[in-house]
Amino acid sequence: MAVASSAGRASAVASKSKTGQCPVPSAPQKWRGFAAVAPTARLPRRVATRASKQDRQAQLVARAAGRGQHAAAAQVAEAPGAFTKATELHGFEEVREQFVPEYNSSAVLYRHKKTGAEVMSLSNSDENKTFGIVLRTPVENSTGIPHILEHSVLNGSRKYPIKEPFVELIKGSLNTFLNAFTYPDRTCYPVASTNLQDFYNLMDVYLDAVFYPKCLEDPRIFLQEGWHYELDDPNKPVEYKGVVFNEMKGVYSQPDSVLGRDIQQAIFPDNTYSVDSGGDPVDIPNLTYDQFKEFHGKFYHPSNARIWIYGDDDPNERLRILDNYLSGFERREVDSRVHAQKLWKEPRTVVNKYAVGDGTEATNYVSVNWLLSEDRFDVETELAIGFLDHLLLGTSASPLQKALNDSGLGEAIIGGGLEDELRQPTFSIGLKGVKEENRQKVVDLVQSTLKQLAEEGFTQEAVEASVNTIEFALRENNTGRFPRGLSLMLRSMASWLYEKDPFEPLKWAESLDTFKARLESGEDIFRPLIKKYFLDNPHRATVELEPDLKLGAEVEAKERARLDSFKETLDAKAIEELIQTTVSLKEWQETPNPPESLKCVPALKLEDIPKEAKNIPIDVQKARDATILRHDLFTNDILYTEVGLDMKTIPMDLLPLVPLFCRCMTQMGTDKMDLVQLSQLIGRKTGGISFYPFISDRKGTDEPVAYFMMRGKAMADQVGDLFSIGSDVLRNARLDDKSRFKQMVLETKAGLESALLGSGHRVAASRLDAQRSVAGWVSECMGGVEYLHFIRGLVERVENDWDGVVNDLNKIRGALLQQKGAFVNMTADEKTLQYSEENVRMFLDSLPAESVPTERWNPRLNAVNEALLVPTQVNYVGKAANLYEDAGYKLHGSSYVINKYLGTTWLWDRIRVSGGAYGGFCDFDSHSGMFSYLSYRDPNLLKSLDNYDGTVDFLRHLELDSEELNKAIIGAIGDVDAYQLPDAKGYTSLMRHLLDVSDEERQQRREEILGTTQADFHAFADALEAVRGEHARIVVVTSKEDAAAAETDRPGLFDTQQSLL
């Protein structure tokens, strides 16, 4: 579940107000677990994705460009065609119809006659069908009502009266998206699937959950998802528990999240955005069950609903399904308006504090923020501001971002620039890691840079680069694993939700052409905008966060005092009743639904699942000592490419420098171009170029797969530019810009330190992997705690031994540049592939023919139980062992089924439902053999370890009926057959090639998955004995206090403890 309030921001850098995602350390990419079949991620339940800055800016421009336009010619994925609209209206009336050529969709806005519910119905050829219900849910306090409701309504309903139909869908659905979001002013319930029956099943469950939830009758759901008192011994203290309560404690353990909340509340002190819809842990216990029910009764009504359906399904059936639910209600007036914040006449400054630990350097956050308008922008202004946002902050060479980076006033940029998904548009920018004496200098620098730009404007090259970058992203419409239909829904809602036209954000081509014509005419567009909306705008809030060593302890002490005070009001009888309530709640949470009751949840049949694995076209060619891989797929005249250079030529002691070397490729310029010129060239000629290290285990060998990767994309007629720029950068990128390199080091340090608080489960997993494999150790050295230690030392080395650093960077380049072992992976249609071949061969010819000797990497971390200490209110608990080495396990496809089943049953129930953690899951890396248990924002430590160990007995005694087994199999196949866009298919095929995963092996694994039996579950328990045996190791990210408490209860639990912040 994703908290979309700014309080839930994983990072203040986020430019969207919808959050919940887990930020990751600056680490190498690693193909894990089921990656031989489909990529998987270690993410907690209902975690949202955030678009990249470039894609986000394209969305901003698209929303503006679409405002009030009619059909225009545009490059689309398919030839424009007419799609059938509904001929049977089923209680709806048609309000408006338009064809949207940008997405080859027939779009119709309907209104339900009886209730007034509005429906946007988009019909097209996209098989990845999307459905969503959005309700305006403004709040007046920070008790987190909409967030707790978002969790709770998916815990059973009228038609599906089991505890968690949501989880049953995860188990046995082919969904491509299943989630829910809480924004500061709305709640969204979206689903997606490529399977028609599965799509209808998802729609039905979500409609029933939203309008007829069981949580209105069963207060235990509120207690579980929201908050409750917990006491299991009269001599022990009372505790707060609850999934949302603990989730938000984790959120507010992160300074970036605290800043995000403070920025929003500073800019909007007088409307619903002045409080936190996600919930503040201080306020959540003030929420009563009656208030909870009243909120649902007020806002969860069809008259307050906006419904979105998109894809290639029957438009008549859409309306029939909706009317079946909506017709049970009567129209009523729902006042859910989001009132505008009045503009100020004078700027303001807000200074708050954030908690730090003893080992943290005392630095500040400084952010400058504007409310840009008293209402939504008009069409022309919104479009222009979207481009201005990219010109200011779109790349590291953009003038405002560059000025902050080059200033040396802080460690990393914060603030995502333009944000226009809420009622009024805002703009935020600043720095973190700011010393006390530099706080005002940050504000002055932002203002002076904007003033200079208002006077001088932007270069023609900068404008051309921004236009090409954003137009490429718009026409490409690449939303990654995020369904395209859902991306369009969120885009449309930014207008529709505030009584604006829902069609406008979808139609951008004609307005974009008009805007480009204005630019070509020489019109001065951007300088007046900077003056009006920034320099002359008094609604400016400077938000500063100061470090406070005592704050964390004070917050905990206040919570403890509040709980102790509550307990003192209880007599012996009341204490016994609370204990019984605690026991009965846990019994209910841990008692599974009877098998017969689960049959109410719609499920596909095993015979509906294709027996043959889906293969991706691949043609492998040799070019001297290099390899060329070709994937003939329709990509709309775009070439996607990955270039890999063998990284095993790099000496072991230089490996930690590789991630920074990757950044140097595009962050310092070349011998003939400075950073600005290079960035603008890439923006004008390509869809983007990036560099990163790729590391993975490969089954059957200790030797890792390790490549230095260049990834890029370009239109077919610019492929030559793409490879020419790539070749030039590889050979001639500057490595000697000391000030820029130092800033990158500081940015990396800040990112790693933030990850300790926000992504502790990934940190723990990395440490565990590094104990058992070379690939794990290399990844840890490039993105984990070991990397953090290296980076902290590098800060000093840059000052004291810069020549040595430059020499090491040049050694890395010398080790990488060779034809031997290189590959070029290309994904495009055959015509584009043929057109690209000569450019590819010229690129390979530019690499030295001389071979570089391969290095021998063989270290691992010591196998120890470890506590990583940080100032946090939650824990991240990891435990792992290697099933291949410690249990002698032989890979079988049933392990994919069992791994997913555990995450949706035993671990879900014990770690999340009963334990109160935001997430509990397991991960089996089929390449290395590592099996890991992990928890996310967990109030427990020892209890979670005990529950991990209980997995073996759970599997041994598990009894599955045929329907439950089939559901588990289908769920695993859903991961295997994950929906992918063409570029992702080409990349997946490359991974299979590099990791020696043949189509024959994939077919074998598929047959094993489809043939999984209950006996396989019992047999896997024997393998998992290793994860509770002598070879298993524990790594936890926790507070000093929780580590001490765990050691008191179990002396010798940790072999070592590190204080990291």
The one catalytic residue among 225, 642, 780, 866:
225
| Separation between Cα atoms, residue 940 and residue 625, nearest integer Å | 53
- Say whether 799 is catalytic: no
DSSP lists the bridge partners of residue 696 as 705
Angle subtended by helix axes 460-476 and 509-520, to nearest 10 = 170
Angle subtended by helix axes 999-1010 and 962-976, to nearest 10 = 160
Sort strands 619-623 and 626-632 into parallel, antiparallel or unpaired.
antiparallel
Q: Between the CA of residue 878 and those of 40, 235, 704, 730, 1006, what are the distances in Å?
A: 18, 30, 23, 39, 29
Angle subtended by helix axes 315-326 and 196-211, to nearest 10 = 20
CA torsion sign, 281 to 283 to 287 to 291?
Answer: negative
To the nearest 10°, the Cα dihedral for 53, 56, 60, 66? 140
How far is Cα of residue 647 from the mean position of the Cα atoms in its chain?
28
Residue type at 287 in one-letter notation? L
- Say whether 150 is catalytic: yes
Residue type at 552 in one-letter notation? G
| Separation between Cα atoms, residue 1035 and residue 1056, nearest integer Å | 10
Q: Which helix (H) or strand (E) holds 167?
A: helix 165-172
| Separation between Cα atoms, residue 1000 and residue 997, nearest integer Å | 8
Residue type at 487 in one-letter notation? S
CA atoms within 13 A on the CB side of 580: 6
CA atoms within 13 A on the CB side of 405: 24
Helix (H, G, I), strand (E, B) or coil at 751: helix
Which structure tokens are listed for 627?
């390899």
Of 360, 536, 346, 546, nearest to 439 by C-alpha is: 546
Sort strands 92-100 and 105-112 into parallel, antiparallel or unpaired.
antiparallel
Distant-in-sequence, close-in-space partners of 306: CB < 8 Å, separation ≥ 6:
117, 118, 119, 120, 133, 134, 135, 493, 496, 497, 502
Residue type at 890 in one-letter notation? K
How far is Cα of residue 636 from the mean position of the Cα atoms in its chain?
26
Full 3-state SS string of 430-451: EEEEECHHHHHHHHHHHHHHHH
Q: What is the DSSP letter of 29?
A: B
Distant-in-sequence, close-in-space partners of 405: CB < 8 Å, separation ≥ 6:
396, 413, 740, 743, 747
Of 502, 576, 125, nearest to 308 by C-alpha is: 502
Q: Between the CA of residue 47 and those of 76, 157, 412, 754, 785, what are the distances in Å?
A: 30, 22, 25, 18, 24
Q: Between the CA of residue 287 and those of 3, 144, 245, 338, 817, what are the distances in Å?
A: 18, 8, 11, 22, 61
Helix (H, G, I), strand (E, B) or coil at 643: strand
Residue for token pair 């399977």:
195
Angle subtended by helix axes 785-800 and 760-772, to nearest 10 = 90
Q: What is the DSSP letter of 67?
A: T
Q: Between the CA of residue 126 and those of 72, 632, 638, what are the distances in Å?
A: 20, 20, 19
Strand order through the sheet with 348-355: 348-355, 540-548, 364-371, 426-434, 412-419
What is the CA angle 814-820-825, rounded to 5?
105
Number of H-type helices and E-type strands within the chain? 37, 28
The one catalytic residue among 102, 118, 150, 866:
150
Q: Do you know the residue count of the chain?
A: 1061
Catalytic residue ranges: 150, 225
